[in-house]
Chains A and B, each alone.
Chain A
Amino acid sequence: MPGPYDVVVIGGGPGGYNAAIRAAQLGLKTACIEKRAVKDAVAFGGTCLNVGCIPSKALLFASERFEDASKHFASIGIKVTPEIDLPGMMGHKERTVDQLVKGVSFLFKKNKVDPYFGTGRIVSATQVELTGPDGTKETLETKNIIIATGSEVMPLPGVTVDEKVIVSSTGILSLSEVPKRLTVIGAGIIGLELGSVWRRLGAEVTVIEYLDRIVPGVDGDVAKEFQKILTRQGIKFKLATKVTKAEPGASGVTVTMEPAAGGAAETLETDILLVCIGRRPFIEGLGAKEAGVAIDKRGRVETDGHGRTNVPGIWVVGDVTTGPMLAHKAEDEAMAVAELIAGKAGHVNYDVIPSVVYTHPEVASVGKTEDELKAAGVAYKTGKFPFTANARAKTVAEKDGFVKIIADAKTDRVLGCHIIGPEAGNLIMEVAVAMEFGASSEDIARTCHPHPTLTEGVRQAALGVDNRIMQM
């Protein structure tokens, strides 16, 4: 029997594999269990690498290049007529995923993590039962268990995903042809990213959202601008609308919907229906409940805020517990939990977790939104700067979006930053680092920002908090 282990990690996504690597680096004898199989072999990397962040970003990048070439190059003096080679584009996606998945196995080998292919079930705080792909069972003895089982697609009552014409975020990544009409249920990050991919490739895209706004949780100003830009790009929105039924037929899918507030139902015909109303924690068959691990009403494994469950020796990281379902949040929790197990001082600062939407333009934010601060009764000031007044944006033929920085009205400490614009995902990191240092908007304003870069927009927004923008 293998083991005994110091740490057995159940789940090999960004939370699980990083926890395993860090634990092994700290000298702990570590195993990581993963059940996902690709072509009969174990595929580490979880949702993110296999069917999430990475393949979607590969398609977003390729489709954006296609759209640039078809629509934007003429204005800068380049004449060209591009065509889509969808299998070629999918090839780029598959190569990227394949390299990264193999990369995780390599990292395990390098860091001496024992990989296991199969499904893990918690028997007790010191035992994990592994069921291999052929059904054979073995038990791993361990001092600690880290639950990193992630999340799964949230189903919508009345709509059955078949991954053919009614697809989830997984199926939409592998369509074999560009649909004429694509309907997306859910105007969240995933829906808008994947809707953008297929719109660029030629689909007529309609997004249906239950709430009366898109990207819930994102700063209101940003969401408004975002919707305006996406509409101009050709995406149609049906907000405050509830989907009650979706039926596949001879000519696609018939979607039945009604106003969220109640009212007359209407129908819509579409070739492909993408359901992405969110994700839910995945603990089926894990045996956590049976082992006495507390689960909250929304099915999330409860923690003390430092990765400990209520059962000593059982820990949790990532989507399966509370907090935003983001790979980098899971990774940070993973590092902290591995360090805590090793007796070090691991810590996650939940106030500074950036998030990025990879549409064009990108949307990125960190810290609090104005709505959150208003609700909490915090007095704040804002500074806002549009990319139309940024020189670098002009030289790369970009004009949409803005940077907004929010700072405490009394202390000037930066409380949040919200960006919609080119490279927003790279720009947000400066503010995240600044917030980790408890920086004021003046600290950002007094830091030399190279010219000509888009980052100058962040500085101008920081100046705006003190009402002294210079470039506008």
Chain B
Amino acid sequence: MKKDMICKLLIIGTGPGGYIAAIRAGQLGIDTVIVEAKKAGGTCLNVGCIPSKALIHAAEEYEKVLHYAEGKSPLGIGLAAPTLDLGRTIAWKDDIVRRLNNGVAGLLKKAKVPVVHGWARFKDGKTVEVETETGPQIVRAETVIIATGSAPIELPFLPFGGNVISSTEALALKTLPATMAVVGGGYIGLELGIAFAKLGTKVTVVEAESRVLPLYDAELTRPVMKRLADLGVAVLTGAKAKGVSAKGDALLISTADGADEKIAAEKILVTVGRKPVTEGWGLEEIDLDMAGRFIKIDDQCRTSMRGIYAIGDVTGEPMLAHRAMAQGEMVAEIVAGHKRSWDKRCIPAICFTDPEIVSAGLSPDEARKVSPEIKIGQFPFSANGRAMTKLAEDGWVRVVARADNHLVLGIQAVGVGVSELSTSFGLAIEMGARLEDIAGTIHAHPTQGEGFQEAALKALGHALHI
């Protein structure tokens, strides 16, 4: 039996929430231990945000040159059809993940936080047993942070295995499937579906709701719908997946009008959402209050048991790495005795589709619920000089504000490269900006950010460039 480890703070899970909490705790001089069953960095770094963005980037570049090769480039770049070496792309992606894994491990080392490798299980509220390769390890802690994250939801009639894959396997395919059915038209399904379509796969998206990306307002998703059509992605809305064909080479669905259909698919990618990881680590031993599927937390990420905090995907929506990181940082500071509570006005969300979608704060419909009258200013990139020079004229920026005092409630954008505008939006909301504040800030010319200023001007009734 190994000697018990005793620490002030124990963190379970090294995803973005967990590792950030550990680094911040280390900076604050808290004696901290972190447990990880797999590789450092969690879903985000190993099988989520990072590898998907690498694949999306490669696919985007490939599709662009393919387009140029077909003689459709307005840029004056001539070329023969490009060839794709998917093995090389995947190796490049794996190398990024490897370097970031090592990076997180290095950061934890620098923060003097030891990592215990293995599966953790609560014995009681202050004691965790970790099954390490070399036997069980007991860790005793004054305070514990649960950061166990989330996992892809499996459909009972489409269990993962064989040709039915989750986003994890989709990011590690060795060869390009000729056909792919994507079950679930949320952001993960569309991000990956678009990437594979660009690489040359014939993609069909099956979505049970009446439209894809149902969490974003319809207007925001329209440019993405247009691009899906251009890329030859078939989108079947109101359609339900039923199972796999007997041969395993097709997805069985019932269409919006109730007809049964077969969709040929070498791979069936199921992306119907993610669920919190609340099993296998002894939740039953400590009996925490739940909020639906998630662990219930207060505005300081405290659970119902004293000394136990929970952060990240296991605590609810939005399941975003940057939410988890902000929570992790906050909890470490609370444990160190700082006065902190969750006071974020805005957690921007980004969809890395083509074009990209950003939403910060409230949509027009949401805003109408908190303010009787609102003002909306929308500015299209087709009237933005920088977008024109970059062949990025699809899409727009929209600012939503209260009509009475012009307080900005929400900012949305859809367009090429808008992901990097997201923080300008978030910061404006966080600072309590009025429309005049955005309109009165000089935005550099020529940048896509000018669209933000113009949208504010438009809401004020005097846009200059449209």
Contacts and interface: CB of A to CB of B under 8 A. Distances in A.
Interface of A: 14, 18, 21-22, 25, 48-49, 53-54, 57-58, 60-62, 65-66, 68-69, 73-92, 95-96, 99-100, 103, 107, 326-329, 331-332, 335, 347-349, 352-356, 364, 389, 391-392, 394-397, 423, 425-430, 432-434, 436-437, 439, 443-444, 446-456, 458-459, 468, 470-472
Interface string B186-206: 000000000000000000000
Contact of A49 (B90, B385, B424, B462): B385
Interface stretch (B74-82, B162-170, B228-236): B74-82
A25 to B, nearest CB: 5
Contacts of B85: 77-79
B99 A25 contact: no
Contacts of A449: 322, 423, 426
Given A76-B89, A354-B444, 6 more contacts: A54-B389, A65-B64, A79-B85, A450-B358, A452-B49, A471-B103
B100 to A, nearest CB: 6
A412 B84 CA distance: 50
B61 A68 contact: yes
A88 B88 contact: no
A391 B102 CA distance: 13
B87 interface: yes
A426 B65 contact: no
Interface stretch (B253-261, B291-299, B343-351): B343-351
B441 A425 contact: no
Interface string B418-458: 01111110111011010001101111111111101000000
A451 B326 CA distance: 11
B322 A436 contact: no
B68 A82 contact: yes
B295 to A, nearest CB: 21
A81 B386 CA distance: 27
B410 to A, nearest CB: 15
Contacts of B50: 391, 394-395, 452
Contacts of B100: 391, 394
B322 A448 contact: yes
B451 to A, nearest CB: 11
A78 B65 contact: yes
Interface of B: 16, 20, 23-24, 27, 44-45, 49-50, 53-54, 56-58, 61-62, 64-65, 68-69, 73-80, 82-92, 96, 99-100, 103, 107, 320-323, 325-326, 329, 344, 346-350, 358, 383, 385-386, 388-391, 417, 419-424, 426-428, 430-431, 433, 437-438, 440-450, 452, 462, 464-466
B57 A448 contact: no
B103 A95 contact: no
A61 B390 contact: yes
Given A85-B77, A394-B96, A450-B322, A53 B449 contact: no
A149 to B, nearest CB: 19
A348 B88 CA distance: 52
7 contacts: A77-B62, A79-B85, A81-B79, A92-B76, A391-B45, A433-B437, A471-B107
Nearest to B49: A452
Given A54-B389, A61-B390, A451 B49 contact: yes
Given A22-B462, A65-B75, A85-B77, A329 B442 contact: yes
B404 to A, nearest CB: 20
A95 B73 CA distance: 13
Nearest to B97: A394
B427 A444 contact: yes
A76 B88 contact: yes
A326 B444 CA distance: 9
Contact of A92 (B53, B75, B424): B75
Given A99-B388, A437-B431, A79 B76 contact: no
Interface majority SS on A: helix, strand, loop or mixed? helix
A249 to B, nearest CB: 31
B419 A453 contact: yes
Q: Which of B84, B438, B447 has the most CB of A within 10 A?
A: B447
A394 B58 CA distance: 12
A433 B444 contact: no
Contacts of A331: 442, 445, 464
A439 B124 CA distance: 44
B431 A470 contact: no
Given A423-B420, A448-B344, A450-B350, A89 B89 contact: no
A429 B445 contact: no
Contacts of A458: 423
Contact of B65 (A69, A100, A332, A394): A69
A292 B44 CA distance: 66
A84 B76 contact: yes
A90 B446 contact: no
Given A76-B88, A77-B92, A392-B53, A453 B388 contact: no
A429 B443 contact: yes
A267 B113 CA distance: 61
Given A448-B323, A450-B349, A470-B20, A429 B421 contact: yes
A46 B365 CA distance: 41
A318 B426 CA distance: 31
B388 A100 contact: yes
Given A75-B92, A87-B76, A448-B326, A426 B430 contact: no
B389 A96 contact: yes
A447 B361 CA distance: 13
Contacts of B16: 451
A427 B420 contact: yes
A444 B37 CA distance: 34
B48 to A, nearest CB: 9
Q: Name the 6 nearest CB pairs between A and B, nearest first.
A: A88-B76, A89-B76, A77-B89, A77-B88, A80-B82, A455-B423
A75 B442 CA distance: 38
Nearest to B74: A92
Nearest to B104: A471
A91 B76 contact: yes
A416 to B, nearest CB: 15
B62 A78 contact: yes
A328 B445 CA distance: 5
